[in-house]
Amino acid sequence: ILQVLALSLTEPKFGLANYQSLFANAAVGRVVMTTLKVSVMTTVLTVLASYVVAFAIIHMSAGWRRISLFLVLVPFWISVLVRAFSWITILRRRGVLNSALMEMGVISSPLDLVYNLFGVTIGMVHYMMPFAILLLYANLSDIDRRIMQAARSLGARPATIFWRVWLPLSLPGIALATLFVFVFSLGFLVTPALLGAGKTLMIALYISVQISSTSRWDLATSLSTMLLLVVGIIVFAAMRSPALRAAFVARPQQ
Structure confidence at residue 254 (pLDDT):
44
CB 240, CB 37: distance < 8 Å: no
Structure confidence at residue 247 (pLDDT):
62
Structure confidence at residue 243 (pLDDT):
65
The residues, ordered by sequence, that sit 6+ positions from 4 with a Cβ below 8 Å of its Cβ are 221, 224, 225, 228
d(C-alpha 48, C-alpha 71), whole Å:
19
Structure confidence at residue 38 (pLDDT):
94
Q: What is the pTM of this model?
A: 0.86
Rg of the chain on CA atoms, in Å = 22
Q: Can you tell me the mean pLDDT for 232-249?
A: 74
pLDDT, tens only, 108-155: 888 888 999 999 999 999 999 999 999 999 999 888 888 888 888 888
DSSP string, 55-124: HHHHTS-HHHHHHHHHHHHGGGGS-HHHHHHHHHHHHSTTSHHHHHHHHTTS-SS----SSSHHHHHHHH
CB 7, CB 221: distance < 8 Å: yes
How many angstroms separate the first and last alpha carbons of the chain? Answer: 46
Structure confidence at residue 251 (pLDDT):
53
pLDDT at 42 over 50: yes
The residues, ordered by sequence, that sit 6+ positions from 193 with a Cβ below 8 Å of its Cβ are 205, 208
**CA–CA–CA angle 125, 128, 133 (5° rounding):** 110
> Which domains are delineated in the chain?
29-201 (1.10.3720.10)
